[in-house]
Amino acid sequence: SAGMYKPNESTVFPMAESTPIKESAGQAQLEAYAVEIGLPLVSFRPQYIYGPKSNKHDYIDWYFDRLVRELPLPIPEDGTQKVSLTNSEDVAELLAAPLENESAAIEQRIFNCGTDQLYTYDEVAYMCAEAAGIPKDKVMIEHYDSELFGKAYFPFRLTNFYVAPDMAKAKLGYGGAKKSLKDDLKWYYEGFLARGGSDKYIELIKDWEIVVGSKTSLNPGSIYDKW
């Protein structure tokens, strides 16, 4: 996973395959061992996947969970941090790319796996609202100080944290992601409703603490009492 990367203040985004990593990460250890024994391994580092066969919905559900309940979205800092979310079908195509150029794939070994379509945290909120038929002026974003409240339930990093498939494009002839998050959110929302939508239980205590602690102009008591 691209989660093994350890960006610092000098890191240029999107993060390249040469970005420092957590040496203790299981995937990093496997990659190192493969190099040590001469195994012709090609390893991909995916990031924030959604779509068919994906087994994690937390990233996008976080937005819908609050939008459909007419609750504030506590987003750290100013919400301009960028993220990339990749459709699993685009991931599958990228994973198959080494078959078209095995020698180049083995020579490079490590490839980032993700789309190069970037959105800010706030933009994702508004796109989700549009998919759910919620007017933009009804979206309540609560920007907060992460030094005071930390990550809370927010599904992404507090700062920029994204990769791009530039190496795969250059070495493997990968054509790039074909899916669009904005378009995909329409059917994703239908899946969200089918998984329980606003009827499922979600923990909101940290949201409440942030909204109250940030001294919002909203009335947190009446907003959260229902839930």
Q: Report how far residue 189's alpha carbon sits from residue 192's, in angstroms, rounded to the nearest whole number.
A: 5
- Average pLDDT in the 155-166 region? 91
Q: Which residue has the higher pLDDT, 51 or 24?
A: 51
DSSP class of residue 30?
A: H
DSSP class of residue 195?
A: T
Q: Which residue has the higher pLDDT, 22 or 42?
A: 42
Give the DSSP H/E element, type plus range, for residue 36.
helix 26-37
What would the pLDDT profile of 6-21 be if each residue is shown by its tens digit?
Answer: 888 888 889 889 888 8
- Average pLDDT in the 79-96 region? 95
Give the DSSP H/E element, type plus range, for residue 185.
helix 181-194
Residue 24, pLDDT above cutoff 90? no
What would the pLDDT profile of 135-158 be if each residue is shown by its tens digit?
Answer: 999 999 999 999 999 999 999 999
Side chain identity at 176, as an amino acid letter?
Answer: G
Q: If 0-12 CB within 10 Å is exposed, 13-18 middle and 19+ buried, where does residue 174 land?
A: buried
- Average pLDDT in the 107-115 region? 90
pTM: 0.90
Mean pLDDT of the chain: 91
Q: In percent, how much of the chain has pLDDT > 90?
A: 64
pLDDT band, very low/low/confident/very high, at 78 (cuts 50, 70, 90): very high
Between β-strands 119-120 and 82-83, what pairing exists: parallel, antiparallel or unpaired?
Answer: antiparallel
- Average pLDDT in the 63-80 region? 97
Lowest average pLDDT, out of 75-84, 141-150, 210-219, goes to 210-219
pLDDT on residue 222: 63
